[in-house]
Structure 1
Amino acid sequence: MPRSSDNLWDLATSEVQRKDSTEDDTEVSTETERSVFFIGNKHGGKTTIILRCTDRDEAPKPTLALEYTFGRRAKGHNTPKDIAHFWELGGGTSLLDLIPIPITSENIGTFSIVLVLDLSKPSELWYTMENLLQATRKHVDKIISDIGKSNSKAGSQTMQNIGRSIPKDHPDKELIDPFPLPLLIIGSKYDIFQELDSEKRKIICKTLRFVAHYYGASLVFTSKSETHKGVLRSLVNHLAFGQDKSRFVSVDHNKPLVIPAGLDSLNQIGSPPASDSDLRQGNVRTPMELWKKIYERIFPPKNTNDSKDIKDPAKDPQYSERDIDAMRSQKDQELEQYKRNADKSWKSMALGPHTR
């Protein structure tokens, strides 16, 4: 409350300080942070998608291992900006050990997964999807278990959040196994995918629809088309900034698929193209195993050799540093000289007289 002794300047200063304090309190209470982890095929377009969704007009560079960037979005005029942390795993399935790094017990409540699958490589599709999702789920399940052991109430709350993407009254609620984190599956390079035989495209579309629905995930196909970019941005921004996601649905296998989580059904997807002998075999225990068996019969899996293709970052031009590279070259030469001298020493010892 102003005092009678305050002059006009004192009153103005006091009013500005009061407004600043109010705005700071509002910003702290309304600002949110979310994390989105991009995994998927090597060279599948993960970096390009992140740049597109963060409005960065720059050429994508190969992802070395695990990379981080962030984006900001304002909710409205004079409101604090929400922050999205974007993580990207490079190397396809070769760096599964790095998956636990960005996912922690502190951020798991606001964490999402984006799985990018290269539609132009159908023979690598299931292998990539299965290995990345299994490794991610194993780590997430461990975190949830640890939370439950230390705080049963927090653990129960975390478990309740699983499957929230599927409506409670959905007819398939008891038949699916939702992924423990919000999941978006992106089929990239749709323009190349269109060149495949129509029947093969149909099988790939049905398979990915089943996988996405089974895990309670959203599914979208994308290419260089501006139309595809808009739908993709809507779904990614929903995970990153909590914005309303598109309710547009497209299930025609002759067009890019767009199916937000919870808007598909097993009845609409239909059964896999299985023969009677496939259905009678007793080693298939779950619907997921049946779809995998049928898919890999049509598209035999190929060894991706991800681990063999990892490049030495010290020789990558984008990380060049003149002084460091010169020192590295000198040390490499010293190492080679040491190896040659050591080899000569061992040979001389082997050829020398033996003592009893």
Structure 2
Amino acid sequence: MPKISSDTLWDVAAAEVRNRENRTGEEDAEEDAHFPTESTVFLMGSKAGGKTTILLRFLDRDEAPKPTLALEYTFGRRARGHNTPKDIAHLWELGGGISLSDLVQIPITADNISALSVVLVLDLSKPNALWETMERLLESARSQVEKVCASLQKTGESRSGKQPSQNRVSRVLHKDYPDRELINPFPVSLLIIGSKFDIFQFTSSKSETTVSKARSFVNQLAFGTERPKSISTDPSKPLVIPAGLDSLSQIGPPVTSDVDIGTLHAKNPLDLWKKVFERVFPPESIKERKELKDPAKDPQYSEPLIDSMRAQKDQELEQYKREQAKSWKNVALDPKI
């Protein structure tokens, strides 16, 4: 007769825990290969800067891009081989430029922080808004990442089981990196894309070469494919610079005949570049930004029928306000009341 096991459920569970603790990394990797992975890619950047176009090309969707309303979600799947589960990439896109930067708290959470990447798309055809867009959005995203990591450090690890303090950027900026003491690396993987260079020539939907390169970089963030090896530092051509392969000394100081660099008081090389950039391309005024903050007045969300009805209702509201103002004025002047 077969021997009947007398182990209780707790004995079986304890044995399984001991077995997992004794596994080697190779065994874990072999087991993980049979399970799908999940990653999150968060796209943000200039308003109407081409984020949706880049996303659609990444997903192989042949359709015309539509304006992004606030924050939108989609996903992509990719099989690693035959008879293997498909890896999943959760894709978030933030619309509205810097006006909706508070929404970064939705796609950046404790559930996905260990597998999160950020893609910042900057419209090169609008240089006056470029630097502030970059600073404001990266600051909002960094603040949210640090907030999530701080909360996770109290519990010791992320919900996916990975240490929240594990900084993937630190593997790029090695201890001998020349600018290690001058820069503050972004806490998660970051890809910056300059869009609409077709006006000059760069990442545009009209250039298959540049779109293919952008897609390769996004694919690497989403599914962990091999990092693109191409690099281009020729300023007369589209720049392609993987993380860690440039330095402030290679970039050098700003070259301009319009600004006397010696008169600028900068804290570091990046600050110097900012001051020169904003001298050449003055930032947009606060008044202009406030006028465009109302989506109802934004040209990219134009809907003729709805807009005409809205205009009629606005007129009716103004008329009502004027009538009410007159009636309250008469009441205030009535001595009998």
The bucket for the TM-score relative to the shorter chain is 0.7 to 0.9
Worse-superposed segment, 332-341 or 271-280: 332-341
Secondary structure of the residue aligned to 1:116 is strand
Counterpart position of 1:173: 180
Equivalent in 131, 138, 143 of residue 136 of structure 2: 131
Q: 2:291 aligns with which of 297, 301, 308?
A: 308
Give the equivalent residue in structure 2 for 1:202: none
CA distance in 1, matches of 2:170, 2:32: 31
Deviation for aligned residue 1:290: 1.6
Aligned match of 1:104: 109
Secondary structure of the residue aligned to 2:121 is strand
Gapped regions of structure 2 (runs ≥ 5):
1-30
SS state at 1:187 partner: strand
CA offset at residue 352 of structure 1? 2.2
Q: Which amino acid aligns with 1:222?
A: T
Q: Which one is further off, 292-301 or 100-109? A: 292-301
- Pick from 149, 155, 166 the counterpart of residue 150 of structure 1: 155
Q: TM-score, normalised by structure 2?
A: 0.76
Question: Match for residue 99 of structure 2?
Answer: 94
Contact 1:148–1:155 under 8 Å retained in 2: no
Aligned-partner Cα distance in 2 for 1:253–1:298: 18
Aligned to 1:209: none
**Which whole-Å CA distance do the structure 2 matches of 1:159 and 1:354 have between them?**
76
- Write the distance in 2 (CA, Å) between the matches of 1:334 and 1:280: 56
Q: How large is the Cα RMSD of the aligned pairs?
A: 3.6
Structure 1 residue ranges (4+ consecutive) displaced by more than 6 angstroms after TM superposition: 152-156, 274-277, 328-338
- 5+ residue gaps, structure 1: 1-25, 195-220
1:239 corresponds to: 221
CA apart distance, 1:86: 1.1
Residue 49 of structure 1 deviates from its aligned partner by 0.6
SS state at 2:119 partner: strand
CA shift, 1:263, in A, is 1.7
Cα distance change on mapping 1:71 and 1:303 into 2, 3 Å? farther
Per the normalisation by structure 1, the TM-score is 0.72
CA distance in structure 1 between the aligned counterparts of 2:80 and 2:289, rounded to whole angstroms: 41
Aligned pairs, number: 298
Separation of aligned partners in 1, 2:284 and 2:97 = 14
SS in 1 for 2:221: helix
User: What is aligned with 2:334?
Assistant: 352
1:297, CA displacement in angstroms?
1.6
Deviation at 1:348, TM superposition (A): 3.9
Deviations 1:273-296 (A, max 9, x none): 389974575x52233222211211
> Partner residue of 2:246?
264
Say yes or no: does 1:187 pair with 2:194: yes
With over 3 angstroms needed to count, the CA separation of the structure-2 counterparts of 1:306 and 1:53, relative to structure 1, is: farther
Q: Look up the equivalent residue of 1:312 and give its one-letter code.
A: A
Query: Structure 2 CA distance, aligned partners of 1:279 and 1:143?
Result: 41
